[in-house]
Amino acid sequence: AQSVSQHNHHVILSEAASLELGCNYSYGGTVNLFWYVQYPGQHLQLLLKYFSGDPLVKGIKGFEAEFIKSKFSFNLRKPSVQWSDTAEYFCAVNALRSASKIIFGSGTRLSIRP
Amino acid sequence: DTEVTQTPKHLVMGMTNKKSLKCEQHMGHRAMYWYKQKAKKPPELMFVYSYEKLSINESVPSRFSPECPNSSLLNLHLHALQPEDSALYLCASSQGTSGNLYNEQFFGPGTRLTVL
């Protein structure tokens, strides 16, 4: 069965620090990969997605992620975080054999100290 | 229009009540989804509709009854719920469910349900 692991449950950073959130998935076939963000009291928004092509994808608000197939990873990065990045971040995987189902990781809560 | 709308935003109901949650999209998407999200947890898939037909039911109790009246609308009928059913209920839509399509899901803001 597919699964998605986000090993960092809560990350606390100061403004201007660099961010990397880990995401690993277990599925041997072709996958679509996503990072969603949920700001406090708001709904899920797509940060970025990988379907095919360049494994380094750029998303909104200065976020990027790199798909490393050999490591089954899709880590999220941002060079310099802002207080407004405080949110819950979910990695998600969609195996193309079961295209209806998106499996979410458990989420990483990011707190930014001003 | 790239929006999924959900009504109501908040709902409080007793265990004997019958209520419905509504979801609407006008992006021409042919797949629609219901998720349940408890606090500080990821969304959990409940149902998937593809071309207005129920294609996935993730073993959801029968007190939750989905309905897809047309390609733009998705309802979730609630009856005899339990307090542990209190959660944020999210609707989403995507272009399709075929493995060859880019299956990005667009989420609505959710309905926060409290069962007393």
Query: What are the tens digits of pLDDT across the range A5-59?
Result: 998 999 999 999 999 999 999 987 888 899 999 998 888 999 999 988 999 999 9
A51 min Cα distance to partner chain B (Å): 7
Nearest-CA residue of chain A relative to B88? A43
Half-sphere exposure of B53 (CA within 13 A, CB side): 3
Task: Please name the amino acid found at residue B89.
Answer: Y
Residues of chain B contacting A101 with CB distance shorter than 8 Å: 45, 48, 56
Measured from the Cβ of residue B106, the count of other Cβ atoms closer than 10 Å reads 19
Subunit contact A96:B50, Cβ cutoff 8 A: no
Q: What is the pLDDT of residue B39?
A: 87
A31 min Cα distance to partner chain B (Å): 10
Subunit contact A44:B101, Cβ cutoff 8 A: no
Using a CB–CB cutoff of 8 Å, tell me whether A66 touches chain B.
no
- Contact status, residue A28 vs residue A94, Cβ threshold 8 Å: no
- Contact status, residue A104 vs residue B42, Cβ threshold 8 Å: yes
Is residue A101 over pLDDT 90? no
* Dist CA B101 CA B106 (whole Å): 14
- Contact status, residue B1 vs residue B26, Cβ threshold 8 Å: yes
Using a CB–CB cutoff of 8 Å, tell me whether A72 touches chain B.
no
Q: Which residues of chain B have pLDDT under 70?
A: 1-2, 97-103
Q: Please, which residues have CB within 8 angstroms of residue A54's CB and are 6 or more apart in sequence?
A: none
Best of A100, A104, A109, A110 to mutate (most B CBs within 10 Å, chain B): A100
Q: What is the pLDDT of residue A43?
A: 83
Instruction: Give the residue-averaged pLDDT of A94-108.
Output: 80
- Report residue A94: phi and psi, to 5°: -130, 110
Q: What is the pLDDT of residue B4?
A: 94
Question: pLDDT for B66-94, tens place per residue?
Answer: 999 999 999 999 999 999 999 999 999 98
Pairing of strands A87-95, A108-113: antiparallel
Percent of chain A with pLDDT over 70: 95
Query: How many angstroms separate the Cα of B89 from the Cα of each of A8, A113, B98?
Result: 25, 31, 24
